[in-house]
Amino acid sequence: MSATTSNTAFFNQLKKYYSFYTGGFIAFVIILAILEQMGLSNQVIGYIFLAATIALYAGIGIMSKTADVSEYYVAGRRVPALFNGMATGADWMSAASFIGMAGTLYLSGYDGLAFVMGWTGGYVLVALFLAPYLRKFGQFTIPDFLGARYGGHLPRTIGVLAAIICSFVYVVAQIYGVGLITSRFTGLEFGIGVYAGLAGILVCSFLGGMRAVTWTQVAQYIILIVAYMIPVVWLSVSITGNPIPQIAYGQALQGVTAVEKELNDPTTVKGAAEQTVRAIHKAKAAEWGEKLKALDEAVAAGQGQAFWAEQKAKAEAKLAEAKAAVPLDEKAVKAAQKAVDDFPKNIDKLKAKWKAAEAGAKAKSGNVPAHAAAFAGKGATDEEKQKDSNTKRLNFIALVLCLMVGTASLPHILMRYYTTPSVREARQSVFWSLFFIFLLYFTAPALAVLAKYVVYTDLVGSSFASLPAWVANWQAVDDTLMKIVDMNKDGLIQLAEITLGGDLIVLATPEIAGLPYVVSGLVAAGGLAAALSTADGLLLTIANALSHDVYYKMIDPNASTVRRLTISKMLLLVVAVVAAYVASLKPGDILFLVGAAFSLAASAFFPALVMGVFWKRANYLGAVIGMIAGLGVCMYYMYTTYDFFGGVAANEWFGIKPISAGIFGLPAGFLGVIIGSLISPAPAKEIQELVDHCRYPSLEGDIDTKAA
């Protein structure tokens, strides 16, 4: 009874703290807004936001420092459902969700919705199949469950391995995001930005483990959701007069659809102008095609290296020419310098770059695709179109399934449900988690359409002489995000003349909506919060897998508490530094790898975890075969189909893209568990009792699996 009252008191106390904190944060933003009006420069605002938020997270980290094992690993198991929901939300939503999601939807319309559905629907699986049972089991890590349920070291070891693979690529992407945001908003160099962000991550997780990470994540969730909502609501009001963007954007979508029709109709003035630009793109695509042919011929003749050197020399000659030109054109020199600096490092990368250029030109030489249309097929004949459309549909379904099951298998998310006080609260907590995630995800499609509406109606057809300020600004900052060139020299902007990077949508919304710079700073702080919170959770998962599962459970089960925590913290430091180092190399394929993490997690964990609870007959051999088969099939498929590993698209089964490899790994995993279990004896009575223990929140004469 007294524990319940103390839980309630704790909850009320938390509510008070975080209300106070939210108020304080809003006051802080308002003060900055006033200072901006008084002439504070944009760069200083960027620095203040960066410094203030990182100091805040560090402060929470220091206040939550702990030397208690249970506090360090699972925040003392007393995080109320609502707050665990917020923490999971921040843990879940990465820099890619915060900055990239709306952009993906802008660029790919309906086809981008696979991410929206996949990254939310997975929580249904978490709720129905995992969270309550894992909470009842109640230890520290996901490999813990595999170890206890299936016995022996092997299932645990495979679990550790899979957890590290998935989490590591993911954490590299987060730290990369941190570097990008800090460098963009403060002008610091990318590498320095990475290590500045790293400091913010470490202070928090290093001192207080899960406990510090949890309370910081709650704070980060509040910042990121406020930062996401303010510009979208404002944009919605200024376009439609309705402050609820999720409803209002239907109107904007109709506007967008009308413009799409006009631009695709050559009998209209705008449509005819688009045609002239498309013809230019078509010619360019053909040009790239010729260049690619020459490259392929050179490679076939064994002259690839020479061809590459020749192209590089050409870029260098262009730079020398630009430098020698009279009068000196600074812009041309800068562009030529960049071309030399960024010149692909080998013939394969050169080919990839040219291929991308060709594809880009080709895409712009065709009609504008309709935003809401599903699976638009391409091809010369109706039959080809139908076939392409069906493949797209299949890929969409496969991706949604992989993202969903992957969500329900990622250890850093599942681990969060160990931290609630009870099974009851674990169930409620999944609801709160999805609710808080849902707030952002069901806003992103609205933002994408509203931004598209602005581009299609305000920007297209306006004059190059009077570009809106936000366009000019972003073009100057980064031309991969925004680039407009008057290709047909008519002085007016056509849609096909605009090159827009997905990340621009969220970053530029405050300016598009005409909000002061302080809101841009807020958005940056939100993006940073999203990246830092996810990185925190992932680092902890990796370090815990190594220190708890490998060191404590396998190497030295008699280690003292102090020693366990020291090892855990040392490993955290090592993993963080390695991840930051990898991120500072700017690995280009990081986005693919993040997508791959979902397929890998789904194939490796989901069958063994779910069957562990729902099928008493599942045993050691089943788990081992299932996990190896799932992981193996998934990795094999990626290896043979993804060009990063030297695979080719011709190896694809049913045209399924490598990112959705889990669609094959998942059934392999389930089959492995079933077959492996049936060919070996049923698990011991104690194991079956453990399953019952997980299934019922409370049983008389129940065993106790709680870890101390």
Partner 1 sequence: MQLTEKHREYWRRNLRLTAVLLSIWFVVTFVVIWFAKELNEIVIAGFPLAFYMGAQGALIIYVVIIWFYAKRMNALDKEYGVHEGED
Task: Based on the shown chain and the rule CB under 8 A, indicate whether residue 129 belongs to the binding site for partner 1.
Answer: yes
Closest distance of CB 399 from partner 1, Å: 10
Binding mask 406-425 for partner 1 (x = CB under 8 A): ----------------xxx-
Closest distance of CB 431 from partner 1, Å: 5
**In 369-491, beta strands by DSSP E:** 482-484
Chain position carrying tokens 């990796």 = 542
Task: Based on the shown chain and the rule CB under 8 A, indicate whether residue 702 belongs to the binding site for partner 1.
Answer: yes
CB neighbours (10 Å) of residue 391?
Answer: 17
What is the distance between the alpha carbons of residues 240 and 234, in angstroms, rounded to a whole number? Answer: 10
Stretch that binds partner 1, among 139-147, 248-256, 304-312, 408-416 (CB under 8 A): 248-256
- Out of 46, 132, 143, 630, the residue judged to bind partner 1 by CB under 8 A: 132
Measured CA distances, 571 to 42, 544, 546, 567, 577 (Å): 38, 8, 7, 6, 10
Considering beta carbons, is residue 296 or 692 the nearer one to partner 1?
A: 692
What is the distance between the alpha carbons of residues 606 and 89, in angstroms, rounded to a whole number? Answer: 21
- To the nearest 10 degrees (0 to 180), the angle between helices 154-186 and 42-63 is 150
Say how far residue 92 (Cα) sits from the centre of its chain: 9
CB neighbours (10 Å) of residue 555?
Answer: 9
Q: Is 686 exposed, middle or buried (0-12, 13-18, 19+ CB in 10 A)?
A: exposed
Closest distance of CB 661 from partner 1, Å: 19
CB neighbours (10 Å) of residue 332?
Answer: 15
- Out of 267, 381, 558, 698, the residue judged to bind partner 1 by CB under 8 A: 698
Considering beta carbons, is residue 35 or 124 the nearer one to partner 1?
A: 124
Task: Based on the shown chain and the rule CB under 8 A, indicate whether residue 1 belongs to the binding site for partner 1.
Answer: yes
Considering beta carbons, is residue 113 or 204 the nearer one to partner 1?
A: 113
Considering beta carbons, is residue 558 or 698 the nearer one to partner 1?
A: 698
- Give how many residues touch partner 1 by CB under 8 A: 57
- Out of 40, 357, 397, 707, the residue judged to bind partner 1 by CB under 8 A: 397
Considering beta carbons, is residue 589 or 702 the nearer one to partner 1?
A: 702
The footprint of partner 1 on residues 428-487 (CB under 8 A) is: 428, 430-431, 434-435, 438, 441-442, 445-446
Considering beta carbons, is residue 183 or 660 the nearer one to partner 1?
A: 660
What is the distance between the alpha carbons of residues 605 and 601, in angstroms, rounded to a whole number? Answer: 6
Binding mask 665-694 for partner 1 (x = CB under 8 A): ------------------------x--xx-
Considering beta carbons, is residue 275 or 389 the nearer one to partner 1?
A: 389
Task: Based on the shown chain and the rule CB under 8 A, indicate whether residue 703 belongs to the binding site for partner 1.
Answer: yes
Q: In 3-state terms, what secondary structure has residue 492? A: strand
The footprint of partner 1 on residues 75-114 (CB under 8 A) is: 110, 113
Peptide bond into 667 cis (omega under 30): no
- Beta pairing partners, 500: 482
Stretch that binds partner 1, among 198-206, 251-259, 286-294, 514-522 (CB under 8 A): 251-259
Binding mask 22-51 for partner 1 (x = CB under 8 A): ------------------------------
The footprint of partner 1 on residues 216-245 (CB under 8 A) is: none
Considering beta carbons, is residue 23 or 250 the nearer one to partner 1?
A: 250
> Which sign does the torsion angle of CA 129, 130, 131, 133 carry?
positive
- Out of 19, 41, 43, 254, the residue judged to bind partner 1 by CB under 8 A: 254
Closest distance of CB 71 from partner 1, Å: 18
- Out of 59, 76, 121, 461, the residue judged to bind partner 1 by CB under 8 A: 121
- Direct distance between the N- and C-terminal alpha carbons of the chain, in angstroms, rounded to an integer: 22
Considering beta carbons, is residue 282 or 393 the nearer one to partner 1?
A: 393
Contact between residue 71 and residue 209 where contact means Cβ atoms under 8 Å apart: yes
What is the distance between the alpha carbons of residues 548 and 545, in angstroms, rounded to a whole number? Answer: 6
How is residue 463 annotated by DSSP? B
Say how far residue 504 (Cα) sits from the centre of its chain: 16
Contact between residue 485 and residue 288 where contact means Cβ atoms under 8 Å apart: no
Closest distance of CB 128 from partner 1, Å: 5
Query: What ranges in 264-381 are assigned the alpha helix state H?
Result: 269-300, 304-324, 330-341, 347-364
What is the distance between the alpha carbons of residues 622 and 251, in angstroms, rounded to a whole number? Answer: 54
Chain position carrying tokens 């967008």 = 256
Considering beta carbons, is residue 255 or 676 the nearer one to partner 1?
A: 255
What is the distance between the alpha carbons of residues 105 and 615, in angstroms, rounded to a whole number? Answer: 40
Task: Based on the shown chain and the rule CB under 8 A, indicate whether residue 9 belongs to the binding site for partner 1.
Answer: no
> Which sign does the torsion angle of CA 292, 294, 300, 303 carry?
negative
What residues make contact with partner 1 under the rule CB under 8 A?
Answer: 1, 3-4, 110, 113, 116-117, 120-121, 123-124, 127-129, 132, 246, 250-251, 253-254, 372-375, 389, 393, 396-397, 400-401, 404, 422-424, 427-428, 430-431, 434-435, 438, 441-442, 445-446, 689, 692-693, 695-703
